Structure 1
């Protein structure tokens, strides 16, 4: 158990200033009852409001305050129109953003002015400390079209002949960052850079750069070309600089000498933000003792909301993912106003990077990002949905196709009236089940379900696989393989769902019309053929659900201790059945339970049982009679972009998402808490598609809230999304991607228009250029590093195949041939050449 004491040296200089008693004149236009978005910059130790046309332009030597006010869990942005809100709660966010080269005085003003603005807003704001290059998902969501971080106010309209180097980052939000000087030392293979010269705009593309960042850089260059009247955009690929046309090579060589090219394999920041450690989360309690501020570790995650006491202040430590300081409603004013300062001191004491995000949240005003760190959260006054609850009894395919919002709300694709084919996996093969056996599954088995329905003129298909909780790994592997085979045979259906026993989705249950049963054991326990699987002759079912799309029966031990006052149970012996209804069960639950009993049954109410009922289940014993409540807040769907361009998998949340955020080159995860959609873009790599389930499982494993690993995982393909998916996006447009251009197509068009091709192959690492597609997949290092003794080599270099870590240009320079020609040589010849080049 760790106990930290914060001393004066642990606090930033920037927090020493106290707040002013009088509100700064710059804040006078802030109205507590209005939605708003405003930005102020620190100038001459005071703050100045930025004009709207400068929103999205930041200088790395400055500090800023950003204020966003919106309805709870609703987006804000630079386009927010001030609007008075009556009868609803507003959520206030204050960010102070610090440029990489700002000074302590400016950051200090931003810090204490943020506290001043917070005090004006009744100390009910969520405060964020943001640093350049490490902005939070919420901060990024404000700037839909991106923002720029520049060195000086002489931006694009400055000295045209002066060369400038920019880095382009960001998945949804493009961030253009001006670099201090033009030098190879800033480059790495996971990023995209723009070099502006008098004659050309060079787009340098790292081997491991994300496709969306290449796209952002290209669009930025097109804007710069127009505004600066520069004639050419030239694309330069990592390791292929010397294959450029001589005129462009001479131009870039003036500013970036090609003989001094030194590219790092990837940025260290990429490593720091991978999923590894995302669930390393700890809770600390803060207290003041004899003038010393003490931070005491309580426990590791996942946490419960009840771990937070309204009398106290707590720090939620998520390491490189950020620090949250939660202030209880009964904490004193000093703790409230100094919470961010103390959390920042905690960061320094723990020796975390200076860029670590720090956010202060208040009891009763927690943003959704904070609530998501907990498995369950209950608000004092639950947030009311803006739209009324849809009361619809008709769930046919046509209705749900036309009303995707309804489909998303109930997670139904149709009413289950389509055709169903079911196979049971048996000894590395599959056996089709007859119709009369549909809906009777066994926990020791795996099943594949092909469901076909016709919402419009086009027949559609869904593939489900259901994995019993006691199925063997061999059967599970066979199921996965057979599902892929069936999908291939049917021409790639676009919908595959992995369902694990007990976590069945609404539509899966709808297929079985409210009569889905899971028996214990393997089906072959009752029938060797595996086809006409018979039910056990006597059993007891616990009935879950109150509708046809939530109802299911699960076999439990036929003993009184299995009973529960919140549910209904069906006890079956031959043709005789009893339906036992717990005191807290509803009328709808009881109606569903009757479906599992057949025509001949006796209704038994809790507390009014006859003796013969308990004799059927081994006598009367104690069982659970406590009322269950589930009044936690509904979870907001969350969208994540998956990035696998580096050696580590990571995700980036896109807050307040729209269809535009689905990137055809990528795999995306849409998290509904009890179900996870994997969206597969048409232009995503085969390798990413192959690893998509692994990505989803790794994402769930790394969730700091501690997730149920058995939730349904559903693969949907771009262009074949069901209404249960599309209804989660505002204003889904089926034709949205009809005219989508990939980066490759946009680049080709630019090169054609710039006369960069002239009948020759374009610059870029294609198979024809390097001669071997795998050659470019290896990390690249300078020749001098590769010639070091093996014990001094970086860990990622293969000492037996150093030549694979050369860039294409360096390889040709050393070996006087392309890698494809080298690869065809006899092994002894290759070894001799490597010795001659000093790479053996």
Structure 2
């Protein structure tokens, strides 16, 4: 894996992922994925034959239970589970394959989006199937017999885990020692080129390698990350199978830089840390301006613990980017420089007019794309103490990504801005003014947890 990464151009991000611990980004890359139990390799089959144990490898005529999950038709998965009633969950849809029939089962807490995923995945698994549609609570006896009998299963709404605030650590390690020191209220400037850092995001870990650090191989970086997971510095109960990303200086992907107020020009400065700081004090930025390249992610089919996967891609739409890749504080101009985003420009313009006690903004004079919606969200941030009478207001149910009756005339990157003051307070647990003072990455995490991003 490391040799493959080293042989490619652009120094790609290397990610160590374990089965069952896949991050959201992995599924965004694979788009449509079917994971079967068992395996097809000779080594796997010989192992089962030698130990005389039953092989559960999937085949077209076997009995199987699949759980459906995903956020769209371009990001959906079917995962084969143990054929028992305890594998069910009211928050998902399932496909049950028996020797005599195929059942599609929809949990009572699923949405119309989940039902669409179920229909499409049935076609991908086997277009010849004629499934018997069942809703939770209306199952026939033959359904429960196929699962080994009726038993208890999870019936409560499955909620996304809260994304903790990230923690940044600088690492100092040798063959016999490993020490880390936390950096509080961190910024991009704390990423010194001579050091190695660990960004702990709780659900995933990033190891950042400075270009002038003494870590010269990705294998060393992986070992550094594993040492951190073993010590569980913050006593979070981290699993050794937590997704581990290896990021190199000057090749940071947007799903890493979104945790900082990232300045592209700083990340491409020459010299050591002292020389860079001196250049900044003098007002100089010695830039290397390589052409902006898109972030690519690579996935491979592999067999581990007897598992195999099949990826089904669609040519109708381009591959989706990571959900977090859209949370940028800066855009890149045609000459490689950085300039403030429309949100920042609009907010500054409004702030200047607010100083003159002006209550109106001429949207037609702002050549910023969807200026009206952008300034609307800034108005919300600045005028939290005013009433909602001058703003576009919609209920939370219509603003969600999975709404059955979505609103069409809004800026989809600012869905939260169209909530009323009362509903915003109820959903976010804070005022709009407080929300818009949070770092951009923190705002995005909160919106993701409420299905608004």
Indicate the TM-score class for this superposition, using the shorter chain for normalisation.
0.5 to 0.7
- Matched residues in 1 for 2:134 and 2:16: separation? 37
- Matched residues in 1 for 2:35 and 2:28: separation? 14
- Provide TM-score, normalisation by structure 2: 0.59
CA apart distance, 1:308:
0.8
1:476 to 368, 371, 387: 387
Report whether the alignment pairs 1:253 with 2:114: no
- Matched residues in 2 for 1:203 and 1:365: separation? 45
Determine the structure 1 residue equivalent to 2:278: none
Determine the structure 2 residue equivalent to 1:217: 118
CA apart distance, 1:472:
7.3
CA apart distance, 1:449:
8.3
Report whether the alignment pairs 1:361 with 2:247: yes
Q: Mark the CA change 1:168 to 1:707 in structure 2 (over 3 Å): closer, same or farther.
A: closer
| 1:596-611 alignment, distance < 5 Å | none
Secondary structure class of the residue paired with 1:326: strand
- Matched residues in 2 for 1:167 and 1:290: separation? 44
- Matched residues in 1 for 2:214 and 2:240: separation? 28
Q: Mark the CA change 1:288 to 1:214 in structure 2 (over 3 Å): closer, same or farther.
A: same
The answer to whether the 8 A contact 1:449-1:465 is kept is no
| 1:486-635 alignment, distance < 5 Å | none
Q: Mark the CA change 1:216 to 1:666 in structure 2 (over 3 Å): closer, same or farther.
A: farther
Give CA-to-partner distance per residue, 1:648-696, whole Å, 9 cap, x none: xxxxxxxxxxxxxxx867789x99xxx943399xxxxx99xx7699579
CA apart distance, 1:220:
1.7
- Matched residues in 1 for 2:18 and 2:209: separation? 23
- Matched residues in 1 for 2:172 and 2:253: separation? 24
Secondary structure class of the residue paired with 1:174: strand
Report whether the alignment pairs 1:165 with 2:65: yes
The answer to whether the 8 A contact 2:197-2:208 is kept is yes
Q: Mark the CA change 1:357 to 1:446 in structure 2 (over 3 Å): closer, same or farther.
A: farther
The answer to whether the 8 A contact 1:285-1:314 is kept is yes
The answer to whether the 8 A contact 1:446-1:479 is kept is no
The answer to whether the 8 A contact 2:171-2:195 is kept is yes
Give CA-to-partner distance per residue, 1:553-593, whole Å, 9 cap, x none: xxxxxxxxxxxxxxxxxxxxxxxxxxxxxxxxxxxxxxxxx
2:262 to 372, 376, 394: 376
CA apart distance, 1:223:
3.9
Determine the structure 2 residue equivalent to 1:234: 132
Q: Mark the CA change 1:143 to 1:254 in structure 2 (over 3 Å): closer, same or farther.
A: same
- Matched residues in 1 for 2:187 and 2:244: separation? 21
CA apart distance, 1:339:
0.8
- Matched residues in 2 for 1:225 and 1:678: separation? 38
- Provide TM-score, normalisation by structure 1: 0.34
Give CA-to-partner distance per residue, 1:707-757, whole Å, 9 cap, x none: 69xxxxxxx9xxxxxxxxxxxxxxxxxxxxxxxxxxxxxxxxxxxxxxxxx
Determine the structure 1 residue equivalent to 2:414: 677
Report whether the alignment pairs 1:284 with 2:185: no
- Matched residues in 2 for 1:410 and 1:348: separation? 40
Determine the structure 2 residue equivalent to 1:318: 201
- Matched residues in 2 for 1:305 and 1:335: separation? 23
CA RMSD of aligned residues (A): 4.9
The answer to whether the 8 A contact 1:444-1:472 is kept is no
Secondary structure class of the residue paired with 2:142: helix
1:308 to 191, 212, 217: 191
CA apart distance, 1:261:
3.4
The answer to whether the 8 A contact 1:443-1:469 is kept is no
- Matched residues in 2 for 1:706 and 1:465: separation? 17
The answer to whether the 8 A contact 1:192-1:209 is kept is yes
Secondary structure class of the residue paired with 2:71: coil
1:143 to 30, 37, 59: 30
- Matched residues in 1 for 2:189 and 2:144: separation? 62
Secondary structure class of the residue paired with 1:677: helix
Secondary structure class of the residue paired with 2:30: coil
CA apart distance, 1:366:
1.1
Q: Mark the CA change 1:195 to 1:311 in structure 2 (over 3 Å): closer, same or farther.
A: same
Larger relative CO (CA 8 A, sep 6+): 1 or 2?
Answer: 2
- Matched residues in 2 for 1:468 and 1:679: separation? 10
Report whether the alignment pairs 1:174 with 2:76: yes
Give CA-to-partner distance per residue, 1:598-639, whole Å, 9 cap, x none: xxxxxxxxxxxxxxxxxxxxxxxxxxxxxxxxxxxxxxxxxx
1:352 to 221, 229, 238: 238
- Matched residues in 2 for 1:234 and 1:677: separation? 41
CA apart distance, 1:291:
2.1
2:103 to 202, 208, 218: 202
Secondary structure class of the residue paired with 1:253: helix
The answer to whether the 8 A contact 2:199-2:207 is kept is yes
Secondary structure class of the residue paired with 1:135: coil
- Matched residues in 2 for 1:283 and 1:466: separation? 30
Determine the structure 1 residue equivalent to 2:19: 132
- Matched residues in 1 for 2:70 and 2:177: separation? 41
The answer to whether the 8 A contact 1:189-1:266 is kept is yes
Give CA-to-partner distance per residue, 1:778-823, whole Å, 9 cap, x none: xxxxxxxxxxxxxxxxxxxxxxxxxxxxxxxxxxxxxxxxxxxxxx
